[in-house]
Amino acid sequence: MRFVRLQQIDGNEILARPILDLAGRVLLSKGVQLKLGYLNKLDTLGVSGVYIEDKISEGIEVEDVISEETRLKSQLVIQKEMDRFLKNKQIDTLVIRKVVNNIIQDILSKKHLLLNLSDIRTKDNYTFAHSVNVCVLSILLSIKLGFNFERIKSIATGCLLHDFGKMLLPNEILNKPGQLTAEEYAEIKKHPLYGYQALKDDVTLDAIAKVTILMHHERVDGLGYPHGISGEKIHEAAKICGVCDSFDALTSDRIYRKAWSICDAVEYMYSMSGTQYDKRIVDEFLRFVAIYPEGTVVLLNTNIIAIVVKNNHHNILRPIVRFLYNIKTRIKYIHYEVDMMKDLTLKIEKPVELNLKKIQDV
């Protein structure tokens, strides 16, 4: 399977993963043929791309760090608890802790901790999907940083609830498709404070979770918000949340812009390391991010278009690739795979978008 944007689809591709709505109901099943009417509906829902099965991606499996069931259940819990708070100003922290425990156990059951970004989001479930993903990323990062189980749970809980304050913002600001005014942006910048104030008196949430919610937009150089604190004054848990939050936001489609490529997001995080973000945390974070996720079509330095078959956990820049097409000689390859750890002359230049039917025109 491989991920493709809707614009790349001609209308006969086979869906490799089901598309679900906010309530977890199946909108399109795995194995369905993607017809034009389906694509229009997906576009209306804000789905930017899907996973498909085709000849060039045959046999490639994109493994998420948590199961689809765990991801969906976690999103539904966050939605339910946010709705509960809007109605009676309370949340059930017991179910929040269960979600965090389930995600941690799911992650720990995996042999390798390498992130392939693979969740499909609609415009309606962005907030919930983002909260779960930031939680997942924070757990991966906390494990890499060597934290004990209790500390990981505290940080992950704060990350799961980090955007809680956004539900207290006006929808016309939160979902505005155009550029925000100075006044609107000033209101947006208050959401960490709103979230903290809403939950600070909850004795079932520990201090680390609460400070994560409050400080996740503070930056090392002091140019963050809501209080503009800097350096070591920012709690480590909040620094972790800030890195995970920024990376997931950059690589997600938003109302006002398309998702950045993982390569561009990684480059940005590196460039902001030591200024906006804690360098040690960024360095550790980027060690488990698959820059070229499995199923990504790439251009090699040899003018060959290839698809990433399997990432190497020891060197994420040198995966196993399947050659497809040479854009200079126009030679096509049939299931010819190369381990870039064994052929050091090969280098990935960049990811490319590929329409299989137009491969001769690449």
Domain ranges (residues) in the chain: 2-53, 68-285, 297-361
* 68-285: CATH class: mainly alpha
| Amino acid, single-letter form, for residue 310 | K
Q: How far apart (Å, rounded) are the C-alpha atoms in residues 353 and 169?
A: 37
Q: Where are the beta strands (DSSP E) in the chain?
A: 2-5, 14-15, 19-20, 26-28, 49-53, 297-300, 304-310, 320-326, 332-339, 348-351
Among the listed residues 343, 326, 324, the one whose alpha carbon sits nearest the alpha carbon of residue 334 = 324
Tell me what pLDDT residue 359 has.
Answer: 55
Among the listed residues 292, 270, 265, the one whose alpha carbon sits nearest the alpha carbon of residue 283 = 270
How far, in Å, are 6, 31, 209 from residue 42 at the CA level? Answer: 8, 16, 36
Tell me what pLDDT residue 121 has.
Answer: 57
Render 25-54 in DSSP notation, one character per residue: -EEE-TT-B--HHHHHHHHHTT--EEEEE-
Tell me what pLDDT residue 252 has.
Answer: 86
Within a 13 Å sphere around the CA of 134, how many CA atoms are in the beta-carbon half?
34
Among the listed residues 273, 309, 275, the one whose alpha carbon sits nearest the alpha carbon of residue 290 = 309
- Note the maximum CA span of the chain: 67
Q: Is the peptide bond before 226 cis (omega within 30 degrees of 0)?
A: yes
Question: Residues 338, 342, 343, 346: is their CA dihedral positive or negative?
Answer: positive
Tell me what pLDDT residue 360 has.
Answer: 42
Instruction: Name the CATH topology of 2-53.
Output: Molybdopterin biosynthesis moea protein, domain 2 (3.90.105)
Instruction: Provide the residue-wise pLDDT of the chain in tens; the chain has 362 residues.
Output: 898 888 888 777 899 988 877 667 788 889 999 888 888 888 887 787 889 998 889 999 887 888 888 888 999 999 999 889 888 888 899 999 999 999 999 998 876 667 766 555 555 567 888 999 999 999 999 999 999 999 999 999 999 999 999 988 988 888 887 888 999 999 999 999 999 999 999 999 999 999 999 999 999 999 999 999 999 999 999 999 999 999 999 998 777 778 888 889 999 999 999 999 999 999 999 988 888 989 999 999 999 999 999 998 888 899 999 999 999 998 999 889 999 999 999 999 999 887 655 554 44
Token representation of residue 243 = 């890195």
How far, in Å, are 19, 102, 179, 241 from residue 132 at the CA level? Answer: 18, 12, 26, 12
Q: Kindly report the CA angle at 47 between 43 and 51, in degrees rounded to 5? A: 115
Tell me what pLDDT residue 356 has.
Answer: 56
